[in-house]
Each structure stands twice: as structure tokens, then as C-alpha cells.
Amino acid sequence: MSKPQVLIAANPKNGIVWSKEEQNSKLGAVAEVLELTSSSREEFYKDLSSGGKYANIVGIYRHNDSASAIGIFDKDLIDHLPKSVKYIAHNGAGYDQIDIAAATAKGIEVSHTPGAVDAATATVGAFLAISAMRQFYRAEVNVRNGQWKSGLSPARDPEQKILGIIGMGGIGKALARRLIAFDMKVIYHNRNEITPPPDFPCTYIPNVEDLLKQSDIVSLNLPLNDKTKGSFGKKQFDQMKDGSVLVNTARGAVVDEEALLQALDSGKLFSAGLDVFPDEPNVNPKLLQNDKITVLPHMGTETRDSQKKMEILVLDNLISALSGKGLLNQVPEQKK
Amino acid sequence: MAPKVLLMGELFWAGPDAEELLGGIAELVPMESQSREEFFQDCAPGGRYSDIVGIYHEHLSDKIGAGYDSVGVKAAKARGIGVSNTPGAVDKATAITAVFLLVATMRRFSWCEANLRAGGFNPPGVEESARDLSGKTVGILGMGGIGLKMANYIRPFGCNLLYHNRRPNSLAPPDVKYVSELYEFLGQLDVLMVSIPLSEKTRGFVGVKEIRTMKKGSIIVNTARGPVIDEEAMIKALQDGHLGSVGLDVFTKEPEVDQRLKDMKHITLLPHVGTENQEARRKMERTALVNLKEFLTTGTGPNLVPECQ
């Protein structure tokens, strides 16, 4: 009896990067592993069709990098997947590049990688919060330009300020723990209050507006989906405290970018720390030219350590499913 | 007539505090001497500052701060002049700066941000050099007020914490292990956080031997004083890759910074802004004023530097 086929749809050049060993020995023990060679969506559709090399695949290891070759897993692509596909194991906690409804309609189960991303992403959030408050980007530019402190004005400290977390999931909690150490007070909004409460002092705020009014730093830690897309806009910025800071390590598209630019221009925002943008890798030049903010190119989990953790978790999800034990981290929308 | 206190510096944030603390006790006289010679004349008998009883001093190219290496402490003590500084006031702000440098260097964020702003995105190869903080060993050299704060700030990032000090500090939290032997300490580290004061004994303390004892690819963060590290040895170690990165808020000849450092993309540099924020600045100024008030009213002060005690 031949092994089920699994397609690795990851980086078009390198495939899985840090876990080739485990790909061969662990996944290879329970599956026949195929690497994505299609260089366009059209070619991919041909490869998926009857007689094509991926016509019988049962599982897919998916990384966002595959989008540069075959595009995102929207309804169209999912509808082209052969009937044999049962599992899409996604590398990433955020899975906005996969149309879950379309997958569910075809009986395809989808997993993601929560938990594995928490520490590294929360560290980015903490970094952005400190850098925005203390104006460290501008300070570093000054050193490298030979200007030392010239033109710098004293900045602000997170100490005793209020951190408002929108989305108290794994990353939100990890961020709270880091910033509480700096004497920040944590308030949070979540779809539901967390019970039992987290193991650190924090206050649940049922109404987002109240959270925005009280926060010195607002951190976005919620997933991107139809409900949250563009949900942080002019209304929300107007409700924020004057001179507050926005940190976004969630998804760029959660924020209305025009409203963000307005809030920065008007001084409503003292600063911002952004790791994500609506159309990566393209970033609005107005943000890139603003030296009062701190920006990073989606570095949330860009370390060999986190990348490996995530790759292994995706492989483990596939191995578990193929062994009849089901996916380990099926996405919440499909778990009923 | 109230005794005169010479104000050598500027009160940016603590003007009202000056009124509250010294009003009725002393008169603050701004220093107007334009040169060292003129200042000596002004202090001589008959000069306008000949009767001052205290000085509020702020080092002109640095700040009041906790570092008092710019004050001739031995000479002051010999003349029966007490010197105080402002420890405590700087601890949190400096410790936060140190943690910022820790994260920035481990994750290579300066390189990332510069690359993004120049029109790129993830810098090529950054995944290989950038590391998670979780599980990495961070060593604090100097467990004073700032070192203690650093330990508490670093803890939630999941690092393994060690420290080395002249003597164990009873205030050190139990999860920060004391390592008495310097080279045994250095050899275990992924990151060295330098937090010792500059003195004759500590100039060049972190030199070639110390740097080469550290693991290849390790990182040094310095928020203490530039000259504590042998800068030339550090630069060589960066150039040959022995050190993976450095995070520096201080340099040997501020405000000058070695061009070779300025040209390195994979390190993080700040212009001695450890305490450059409103809250810390005000605390420092106020502490110095409180020190003066205590001297004037009781004859002694709460923050006499160790050498003067």
C-alpha cells in the first residue's frame, strides 16, 4: 500500500528551510513528499488536474512564500485542488491567505501554528512599544549621521503608562508579560473576557471605546478576517488619547491606513510601531519617511529558532492527521 | 542672606522643584563664567562666586546621571567637599534602554528597519543571524541598581540570567545566578550586558581576552561608559565575526563615534540617550536638588558617592 502524497508548497526556491531532516525522516516515514515546482498559478492548476503530478495529493504543507509562485489560497485556487486533498497545514498563526469557508465547503481541514509564534512576535511588540515611546529610531539615525543628540527632544517612558491590548490571545498575553515588567498597567479587550483570568494583573474592558480612551499605548493583537479588516479607522483614532502610541504586530489590513497617516500628521499619535502593512512587501512611502515612528519588515517570527519551531509544528500537524489522529491545531472556525 | 548655590547646568524639568526644595534655604545662582580661567577668577576671594556653599553640577557634554567620572572626587574629598550623584533616578530608564539594545541586536532590527526604509523588505540572510531571546544566556556585568532592574525587565523574555559582580548582591533575585569567576561567566554567555561604573580599575575591563573568551557570534550591550570596553578590540571582533553584534548607548569619545561602527549595519547605536526622557530627567534634577537641600540643612547628604563616605 503506497504512502499518501503530501505537497510542500513553501518557499519556491528553498522549500522547507530549517527542518529538511525532519521533513525526510519524520514526514517521509508516513508520506511520499513532493516539492512544489510549479512557477505560476496556471501551471499549478495543470499540475493539480487529472494526470498532473499533484493529482493525488492528500495533504499540503503551506507557507506564505508559496504565494510568489502560485498566489494565495483563495476560493479559486482551493476549488482547483483535487478531491483527494483532505488537509492544508499552514505555517503561521495568521491564516488570512487561506479562504477557510471554501476549504470547509470542500471538506478540507486547515491547521495553523498558534503558540509557536507567541514569544518572538510579542518580543517585536515590546520592542516597537519601547522604540516608539523613547524615539529610538530617530536617535539611531542621528548617531549614524554624526549628529549625536542634535535635534532630539526628550522622549517618553512606558513606566506607569497604560497598555491597552486588543486581542488577548497567546501573543497578547506574552506581550502583556513583557511590558508589565516595565511597570505598565495592562487593560484588554477581547471578544470574551478571559476566564480564568491570566496569571498577571490585567483588567478586562468590554467596550473598545473605553479601552482606547484610557490607553497610552494601544497594541493590536487580533487576527485579520472579514470582521476585523479595516476595523481600526478614524473613529477609533479619534477615541484614542492625544499623544498616544499605536503598535501593530497583527495584520496591516486591520488598520485603515489613511486614518493612521492622518492621526500621525495631526499629532493625535505621538508615535507608532508597525511590523505589518496591508500590501507587503510594498509599504506606503509616507510611513517610510516618518522618522518619529518605528517600522519593521514583518519580522515577527523571522529568526531561525522560531522558523524551525513553526516548521516542525506544521509537519507534526500533517503527521498526526495522516496517522488518523486528526490535525493538532485546526483553525477555530472549523472546530465546532 | 540665603547661602548661595551655584547652578552649573540647566534645570529643564525641575524648575518648580527648585522653588519647593530650596526656597528660603538657598539662592540658586546661574554660572556665567565663559571660560575656565574666568571661572577660577570668579571663585577666588572677591569674585562673584567666592562665597558659594554648594554646586549643582551637570557635566556639559554628558548629563548629571549616575556616572560621576567627570568630577575629581579625590580632590574634592581632600578639601572636605562632599560629592553626591543621582543613582536610582536613572535606573529604570537606563535599564529599559539596555533591554531595547538586547532585543534590537539579537533580532538585528536596526538592519531590518534601515533595509525597509531604503525600499527593501526582510534583509537577505537575516533569518540566519537573527535569534529568539527564549532560552539564551544573558550575563549582567555589575549588579548594582541598574543591573537589578535589567534582570527584572529581561526575565519575561525567557532568557537564562547570570551575573558577575565584585561580590554577590543579596538583592539579586534567586533566578539570576552569581558566577564568581569572570572568565567562567563570560564563556557561558550569548549576551553580555555591561553595567559597571567607569573608574581607573574598570577602564578597558572588557578587553581582548574577555571578548575572545565569549562565544563566537555573541553580543555585547553597553549602557555604562564607553571606555569600560576596549573599543578597538570590540571593533576587530565585530569585523572578524567573533562578535555577532553590539548594542551601544555609550562610546569612548562622545559625541564622536568611530566611523567603522557607524558603517556597520548589523549593530545598534544610540547617542547616550539612556535617560533621555522627561520622567527620568526630572527625577535626576530633583534628586540633585534634594541632595543639596540635605547638605545645606543637615550637613550631610543621602547620595554621597562611595569614595566620599
Beta carbons of B127 and A302 less than 8 Å apart: yes
Nearest CA in chain A to B263: A144
CATH 3.40.50.720, chain B: domain bounds: 91-269
Query: Residue B11 phi/psi, 5° resolution?
Result: -90, 100
- Tell which CATH classification among 3.40.50.720, 1.10.10.60, 1.10.3720.10, 3.30.70.2390 matches the domain B91-269: 3.40.50.720
Residue B70: the pLDDT is 67
The catalytic residue among B131, B266, B272, B281 is B272
The yes-or-no answer to whether A5-116+304-334 and A117-295 have a common fold is yes
Rounded (5°) CA angle B288-B102-A186: 75
Task: Report the top-level CATH class of A5-116+304-334.
Answer: alpha beta
Q: Which of A119, A142, A143 sits opposite B132 (nearest CB)?
A: A119
Shortest Cα distance, chain B CAs vs residue A120, angstroms: 6
CB atoms within 10 A of CB A284: 16
Beta carbons of A288 and B117 less than 8 Å apart: yes
Query: Residue B220 phi/psi, 5° resolution?
Result: -120, 135
> Residues 239 to 298 of B: which have CB under 8 A from any A CB?
254-255, 257, 262, 268-273, 276-281
Beta carbons of A123 and B133 less than 8 Å apart: yes
Walk across the sheet containing A109-111 and list its strands.
A32-35, A5-9, A57-63, A87-91, A109-111
Q: Specify whether B254 is catalytic.
A: yes
Gap between the Cα atoms of B220 and B140, Å rounded: 10
Which neighbouring-strand residues pair with A244?
A269
ipTM above 0.85, yes or no: yes
Give the rounded distance of the alpha carbon of B232 from its chain centre.
20
The catalytic residue among B27, B232, B254, B276 is B254
Tens digits of residue pLDDT in A65-119: 999 999 999 999 999 999 999 999 999 999 999 999 999 999 999 999 999 999 9
Nearest CA in chain A to B107: A303
Nearest CA in chain A to B259: A144
Closest CA to A245 of A260, A228, A227: A260
pLDDT band at A227 (very low <50, low <70, confident <90, very high): very high
> Residues 167 to 196 of B: which have CB under 8 A from any A CB?
none
Q: Give the CA dihedral B259, A275, A93, A223, nearest 10 degrees.
A: 170
Q: Is the pTM above the cut of 0.90?
A: no
Shortest Cα distance, chain A CAs vs residue B134, angstroms: 7
Query: Residue B104 phi/psi, 5° resolution?
Result: -60, -40
Beta carbons of A134 and B100 less than 8 Å apart: yes
Tell me if A122 sits within 8 A of A178, measured CB to CB.
yes
Q: Where are the domains of chain A?
A: 5-116+304-334, 117-295
Q: Specify whether A42 is catalytic.
A: no
Tens digits of residue pLDDT in A149-162: 999 977 888 989 99
Gap between the Cα atoms of B233 and B191, Å rounded: 17
- The secondary structure of chain B, three-state, reads CCCEEEEECCCCCCHHHHHHHHCCCCEEEECCCCCHHHHHHHHCCCCCCCCEEEEEECCCCCCCCCCCCCCCHHHHHHCCCCCECCCCCCHHHHHHHHHHHHHHHHCCHHHHHHHHHCCCCCCCCHHHHCCCCCCCEEEEECCCHHHHHHHHHHHHHCCEEEEECCCCCCCCCCCEEECCCHHHHHHCCCEEEECCCCCCCCCCCECHHHHHHCCCCEEEEECCCHHHECHHHHHHHHHCCCEEEEEECCCCCCCCCCHHHHCCCCCEECCCCCCCEHHHHHHHHHHHHHHHHHHHHHCCCCCECHHHC
According to CATH, the superfamily of the domain at A117-295 is NAD(P)-binding Rossmann-like Domain (3.40.50.720)
Closest CA to A333 of A5, A15, A61, A99: A99
Mutate to test the interface with A, among B113, B155, B262 (most CBs of A within 10 A): B113
- A196 exposure class (CB count in 10 Å sphere: 0-12, 13-18, 19+): exposed
- The secondary structure of chain A, three-state, reads CCCCEEEEECECCCECCCCHHHHHHHHHHHCEEEECCCCCHHHHHHHHCCCCCCCCEEEEEEEHHHHHHHCCECHHHHHCCCCCCCEEEEECCCCCCECHHHHHHCCCEEECCCCCCHHHHHHHHHHHHHHHHHCHHHHHHHHHCCCCCCCCCCECCCCCCEEEEECCCHHHHHHHHHHHCCCCEEEEECCCCCCCCCCCCCEECCCHHHHHHHCCEEEECCCCCCCCCCCECHHHHHHCCCCEEEEECCCHHHECHHHHHHHHHHCCEEEEEECCCCECCECCHHHHCCCCCEECCCCCCCCHHHHHHHHHHHHHHHHHHHCCCCCCCECHHHCC
Nearest CA in chain B to A123: B157
Q: Which of B12, B126, B257 sits opposite A302 (nearest CB)?
A: B126
Q: Which of A119, A143, A182 sits opposite B134 (nearest CB)?
A: A119
Nearest CA in chain A to B254: A148
Beta carbons of A302 and B279 less than 8 Å apart: no
Residue whose C-alpha cell reads 553597553 in the numeric block: B222
Tell me if A330 sits within 8 A of A37, measured CB to CB.
no
Mutate to test the interface with B, among A19, A65, A127 (most CBs of B within 10 A): A127
Gap between the Cα atoms of A60 and A97, Å rounded: 14
| Nearest-10 crossing angle of helices A118-134, A136-144 | 70
Closest CA to B138 of B229, B233, B231, B220: B220
Q: Which of B121, B262, B276 sits opposite A152 (nearest CB)?
A: B276
Beta carbons of B270 and A136 less than 8 Å apart: yes
Mutate to test the interface with A, among B273, B278, B283, B284 (most CBs of A within 10 A): B273
Residue B153: the pLDDT is 98
Q: For residue A196, what is its C-alpha cell?
A: 480564568
Q: Give the CA dihedral B117, B120, B121, B125, nearest 10 degrees.
A: -120
- The tens place of each residue's pLDDT in chain B, 309 residues long, gives 788 988 887 777 777 888 888 888 888 888 888 888 888 899 999 999 999 988 888 754 333 456 666 677 788 888 888 888 776 767 899 999 999 999 999 999 999 999 999 999 999 999 999 999 999 999 999 999 999 999 999 999 999 999 999 899 999 999 999 999 999 999 999 999 999 999 999 999 999 999 999 999 999 999 999 999 999 999 999 999 999 999 999 999 999 999 999 999 999 999 999 876 666 777 788 888 888 888 888 888 778 888 887
Q: For residue A26, what is its C-alpha cell?
A: 519524520
Judge whether B62 is closer than 8 Å to chain A, CB to CB.
no
Beta-carbon contacts below 8 Å between A and B: 154
Beta carbons of B116 and A295 less than 8 Å apart: yes
Q: Specify whether A280 is catalytic.
A: yes
| pLDDT exceeds 90 at position A167 | yes
Shortest Cα distance, chain A CAs vs residue B205, angstroms: 25
Judge whether B30 is closer than 8 Å to chain A, CB to CB.
no
Nearest CA in chain B to A276: B121
Nearest CA in chain A to B135: A305
Please report, as a single letter, which amino acid is at residue A325.
K
The catalytic residue among A138, A251, A257, A311 is A251
Residue B64: the pLDDT is 45
Residue B62: the pLDDT is 38
Gap between the Cα atoms of B112 and A298, Å rounded: 9
